Chains A and B, each alone.
Chain A
Amino acid sequence: MKRAGATLVVAAIALPLVWALLSSLSPEARLARPTAFVPGALTAEHYRALFAERDFWTPIRNSLVVAATTTALCVTIGALAAYALARLRFRGRDLVLGAMLAVGMFPQVALVSPLFLLLRALGLLNTYPGLVLPYFTFALPVTVWLLVSYFRQLPPDVEEAALVDGASRLRVLREIVLPMAMPGVATSAVLTFIYCWNELLLALSFTTGPERATVPVAVALFRSEHQVPWGQIFAATVVSTVPVVALVLAFQRRIVAGLTAGSIR
């Protein structure tokens, strides 16, 4: 029963991916027919076109730069903020947490126009910072909330031991808390990266040319007036899944519970 359920879930998750993979390898002519799902002769033509006829490396590079920068910033600053919110007692702490949640609830579409004006005034349209800054703003609340709840689960004794041992708060955070909170840090890093990697609305609005377009923007612009190159879109989908999968696999070993085992009792 359990096994059947697991199989069903895996199948449901895998089906679109398998479909995309098969379609990306099928000739364009077959994709238009209703029997497209039936496998036939395979071709790597769409992948060749993706990198030879279009410059798909540029959007991949753009996406990597933007997502990696945002993630690094978000986790660093988010960890500092979250540690203060989790451990220090100060006036208005709950207010800060509430305000952050409120920011995260803003409908992004309502913010596109004001942000556009703001970024234009700052001369940041069509630049990396022009994407990193808004992404950072939207991803930070989630990171902080996640890390606050993670930090609060950690035994305070261990941090106090480090303080008595002579370490500064910052050193305690870096050398004691973050390693213990690695599963939480890795989770928030992956979530932030995926958010930046997949984001379309802001990227489409704030990039004005192909030189700074991210992967979702580039794929959205594949379609022309006369045709939709489905094969290439599927190929791009498959290609753009690779970094995310690689990232999750790389972090998977770190996202394991029980890192504090043996510390107390």
Chain B
Amino acid sequence: MAGLRLEQLTRRYASGAAVVDAVDLAIGDGELVVLVGPSGCGKSTTLRLVAGLDVPTAGAIWIGDRDVTALRPQERDVAMVFQSYALYPHKSVRDNLAFGLRVRGAPRADIDRRVAETARLLEIEALLARKPRQLSGGQRQRVALGRALVRSPQLFLLDEPLSNLDAQLRVQTRTELARLQRRLGATMLYVTHDQEEAMTLGDRLAIMRAGRIEQIGAPLEVYQRPATAFVAAFVGSPAMNLLDAERGADGRIAGDGFAIVGAMGAPAKLRVGIRPQDVEIVAEAEAADARGRVDVVEALGRELLVHVVIGSAGAAALRVLAPADARITEGDLVALRFRRDRLHLFAGDGTRIREPG
């Protein structure tokens, strides 16, 4: 295993548009970093650049202490799990696993031993003689994983490996993958658009947007201190509320339908972020930051997700999490209070300007 370092990695189309724009990223030996972002943000292209399947316009890629920027995929000693699995359809599971070892000229006995070991690890021993078309989706996914594991490469690249599994199997496989990664001490760069998957799997997350990394950090760090409004809205579910606001002459921060009393120093124009669980529904008598009408109530099981329209008609509703036993029905008028120590303030350009609390 080895670490990975990307230096000012850039990939431009012929048109000049940058898909990957000056990305810097360092992954430690044995670390799992998740590259996460909405579709089209350049995360898959970054992965393909690391694999050698695409060629960077500028920048460098280091695996361990080797500069692999100019190397072909065959010479990089990385393994990749494709979103589509990309199994060799005409080869048995055994030959799918053995192919990478065979082309690298491993001795026969060695190949057999490692294929057997990997098959045992992933519990696919019974499938070794089958062809990919005879496997279920979950089994194909394991074979794709096995094909990467069997080679013991320097680095694993995973491109949305769980996105084709059904919800239950996805969560199960996710846990298993995390356990496997810790146990093998594997260095992994993992791409997904699913922020929940990213949060649960990653030692660290790198949140990408429009070809750039907006923030790199441990899952909780990113969740608690999002560096930009984009990260704040992207990470966490249900998503953080982001409200346009202005600082009044009296220091209050106010916007469409709300006014936060006793607020602190801030620029004249800003955005206020507050997570749904940090908004409390309070009795009318208390000093409320906002009042509004309940639009929709969604029962999530453990709690209720309440959409409250606080601003002028047509404004986006505020997402509020309330206890499951709260008696709230659509059409109710409610008073809301934002937890002061959980407010996130962002400047007009989206960058964070204040620590919560």
Contacts and interface: CB of A to CB of B under 8 A. Distances in A.
| Binding partners A and B | yes
A53 interface: no
Contacts of A264: 84-87
Given A160-B53, A262-B135, A265-B137, A166 B74 contact: yes
A199 to B, nearest CB: 34
Give the interface centre of A163, A166, A179 by most chain B CB atoms within 10 Å: A166
B79 interface: yes
B51 interface: yes
A161 B79 CA distance: 8
A247 B90 CA distance: 23
A92 B79 CA distance: 33
A171 B100 CA distance: 12
Interface in B37-52: 51-52
A158 interface: yes
A179 B89 CA distance: 9
Nearest to B104: A166
A157 B82 contact: yes
A158 B137 CA distance: 16
A261 B90 CA distance: 9
A175 to B, nearest CB: 8
Interface in B55-109: 72-74, 76, 78-80, 82, 84-90, 99-100, 103-104
Given A158-B87, A262-B87, A164 B103 contact: no
Nearest to A168: B74
Question: On chain A, which size bracket covers the interface?
Answer: 20 to 34
B160 to A, nearest CB: 12
Contact of A158 (B74, B89, B131, B134): B89
A262 B86 contact: no
A226 to B, nearest CB: 59
Contacts of B85: 263-265
A162 interface: yes
A165 B100 contact: yes
Nearest to A163: B73
A155 B84 contact: yes
Interface in A128-165: 155, 157-158, 160-165
B140 interface: yes
Give the interface centre of B73, B87, B89, B140 by most chain A CB atoms within 10 Å: B89
B80 A263 contact: no
Interface of A: 155, 157-158, 160-168, 171, 175-176, 179-180, 259-265
